[in-house]
Structure 1
Amino acid sequence: MVVVLAKGELDQIALPSADLPPVADVPAVDLSAPAGAAREAAARALVAACEEDGFFRVTGHGVPMELVRAAEAAAAAFFELPEGEKEVEAPTLGYGSKQIGGNGDLGWVEYLLLGVTPAGAAVPASSSSTLPCAAAAASAASSSSTPAGPLRGLLDEYTVAMRRMACAVLELMAEGLGLAAGELARLVARVDSDCMLRVNHYPPRPAAPAAGAPPNLTGFGEHTDPQIISVLRSNGTSGLEVARRDGAWAAVPADGDAFFINVGDTLQVLTNGRFRSVRHRVVVNSERSRVSMIFFGGPPPDEKLAPLPELLVGDGAGGGRSRYREFTWTEFKASGCRTRLEEDRLARFEN
């Protein structure tokens, strides 16, 4: 869905300030590492990054940067349209309000939220949440003669590339964990896997903010992603921050060629807490608009989720005991719709 902020609404959103954190040293994993010692080293580096901070960047991904830049440019052009035109185009891409979720969470952001699969996992009919874990049905195809037409086509192509990359990351991850190659990737690769693409636009902070406004504005409040993994990048504009294991925030430097990977809540469950679902947020840049595109790799609606038996070892994070009870992805999404953005969704599923 596309969220359109009416003129003047950004100036009316009161948001918390965020102190400037140190710059993060984000570990890199080369997906193009050849079989043998190089690939084994890449798999070990990936596992170590997931265990420590739940966040890393991938290089050697093979995604054409021409496609990436074209999709980013088309998205930026859409968000630059007058509010009235965006509202006209919105039905072909989905439509919502400026709220991040249905529980009062607000952000200095407008966004597109697109279902990747023919049918997303079910959510309660009464829910109005627009959290990534809660929405949406597949969008209707649009005519190529409209501004939304070329954008949707580019985003469709981009999504195929992101899904392929997500599966490659999960295959390498499985190798590092000693699992069968397809044990994790199958959850994202199935035709009914509940995957989504979100395109966020963070307008720059006004040059003359209102008196008493905080020095830094939070574009998207702190949260974890509920899915298995998220693949994200931005248009070379900083703003993303991640929480390290010690709780300190670190700014993520923009990277023009790499993609960033978040460990999600579901992957934390599958690894019985060995991997860490990373808490992150976005702070508004004072000079440039920021456009970010995030692919959320989720499992099928009826998939039963619990720590993998192979990872329930006596010396692991769970001490041989399952830290989480079994649940389906639909059940987890429905529960997430009842929580605030910053709340711990997994607490309800702990043993």
Structure 2
Amino acid sequence: MVVLANPALHSIPLVGSPKHGARFPGIPVVDLSRPGAGEAIVRACEDLGFFKLVNHGIPVELMRRLEAEAVKFFSLPQVEKEKSGPANPFGYGDKRIGVNGDVGWLEYLLFVVTSDPLSCTSMTACSFRSALSEYLVAVRKMASDVLRSMAEGLKIEPRDALSKLAMDEHSDGIIRLNHYPPYPQLRGLNRSLTGFGEHTDPQIISVLRSNDSSGLQISLEDGSWVSVPPDQASFFINVGDCLQVLTNGRFRSVRHRVAANGVKPRVSMIYFFGPPPAQRIAPLPQLMGEGKQSKYKEFTWGEYKKAAYRSRLGDNRLVQFEK
């Protein structure tokens, strides 16, 4: 047993190292530039609810620029970081995740995409805002291409049936920048701190990019956990709860977590694509064959978001909306 000397960490659990099962073929890789990308996306979303996206068209330099700005921010003195405001729900957060008692070995910045994320009060803030804005524009275009390819793979019309939900002017987009700092006391031990506890994302899709540090893990259907090898030149796409409902369970909202190994810092940027608050979420008619019944009660994104905000991180939020 490892005893953590820092009292502030007593409530942050330790996690073991997952092992890839003999039958796990690895993380699906989708080449967005190739014909048939839509079919590959559909297979990955059906099998795992998660895939790596390559040849996505976003320059690595653009991703590294935002990462560098995030590192500069998280390197500031604590008092300076806290001037960005407590994360209730948007702003700077440290170890506390949400308002229901969840904790992790991380600090983060959380922004609404439609708002001006940073006031330009210094050269650092101006540089951060510029890098963030450029990154968001590029990722929105890429996500739209992914969702249109997904619709093509599902053979549904119109091709923007999914992308218009996430790209509407009233769509609920959130960007999260996470920093998992080192924790030297774990060096040499085959254990990790929980950086971000297991959960599913409630939105349509999530688009993640991280540095070259490991830590992301996903759960397979049998409940086992596997590590996702880092790739700072690629993006990772998660199926969210809303997309699981929109496909009537054909796609799986993947349960995932982050283990902070305490040796090397991890920095990740996640764009969560949610629909407009008033958008009603139900299985798409194009995917419902004759006589097929919906597995879910209809709800609005606003209703689901409130339910998610009231829940603990690891709760199965969709249970209360199942028929």
Contact 2:216 2:227 (8 Å CA) reproduced: yes
Q: Could you tell me which of 126, 134, 139 is aligned with 1:157?
A: 134
Q: Is residue 326 from structure 1 mapped to residue 298 from structure 2 by the alignment?
A: yes
User: Which residue does the alignment assign to 1:50?
Assistant: 45
How does 1:1-351 map onto structure 2 within 5 Å? Answer: 11-23=8-20, 25-33=26-34, 39-40=35-36, 42-90=37-85, 94-96=91-93, 98-117=95-114, 138-139=115-116, 141-143=118-120, 145-180=122-157, 181-207=159-185, 215-313=191-289, 320-351=292-323
Shift in alpha-carbon separation, 1:65–1:140, aligned structure 2, 3 A: closer
Q: How many Å separate the matches in 2 of 1:176 and 1:88?
A: 46
What is the TM-score normalised by the length of structure 1?
0.83
What is the CA RMSD across the aligned residues, in angstroms?
2.2
How many Å apart are 1:216 and its aligned residue?
1.7
SS in 2 for 1:195: strand
Q: How many Å separate the matches in 2 of 1:155 and 1:258?
A: 18
CA-to-partner distance for each residue in 1:44-101, whole Å, 9 max, x for gaps? 2111110011000111110011110010011011101111221234489834564101
Q: How many Å separate the matches in 1 of 2:104 and 2:111?
A: 19
- The more displaced of 282-291 and 138-147 is 138-147
Unaligned runs of 5+ residues in structure 1 are: 1-7, 34-38, 118-137
Code of the aligned partner of 2:232: G
Contact 1:13 1:108 (8 Å CA) reproduced: no
Q: How many Å separate the matches in 2 of 1:68 and 1:340?
A: 31
How many Å apart are 1:344 and its aligned residue?
0.5
Q: How many Å separate the matches in 2 of 1:178 and 1:200?
A: 36
How many Å apart are 1:165 and its aligned residue?
1.2
- The more displaced of 87-96 and 257-266 is 87-96
Shift in alpha-carbon separation, 1:86–1:18, aligned structure 2, 3 A: same
- How many positions carry a matched residue from both structures? 311
Code of the aligned partner of 2:28: P
Contact 1:16 1:214 (8 Å CA) reproduced: no
How many Å apart are 1:347 and its aligned residue?
0.7
SS in 2 for 1:325: coil
SS in 2 for 1:99: strand
CA-to-partner distance for each residue in 1:241-290, whole Å, 9 max, x for gaps? 00012211000001121100000000000000000000000000232110
Q: How many Å separate the matches in 2 of 1:51 and 1:90?
A: 39
SS in 1 for 2:105: coil
Shift in alpha-carbon separation, 1:9–1:193, aligned structure 2, 3 A: farther
- The more displaced of 262-271 and 250-259 is 250-259
Q: How many Å separate the matches in 2 of 1:235 and 1:338?
A: 31
Code of the aligned partner of 1:206: P
Q: How many Å separate the matches in 1 of 2:186 and 2:93?
A: 28
Shift in alpha-carbon separation, 1:294–1:193, aligned structure 2, 3 A: same
Contact 2:191 2:261 (8 Å CA) reproduced: no
How many Å apart are 1:9 and its aligned residue?
7.3
Shift in alpha-carbon separation, 1:52–1:254, aligned structure 2, 3 A: same
Q: How many Å separate the matches in 1 of 2:77 and 2:85?
A: 12
Code of the aligned partner of 1:59: V
Contact 2:97 2:104 (8 Å CA) reproduced: yes
How many Å apart are 1:152 and its aligned residue?
2.1
Unaligned runs of 5+ residues in structure 2 are: none
Q: How many Å separate the matches in 1 of 2:136 and 2:298?
A: 30
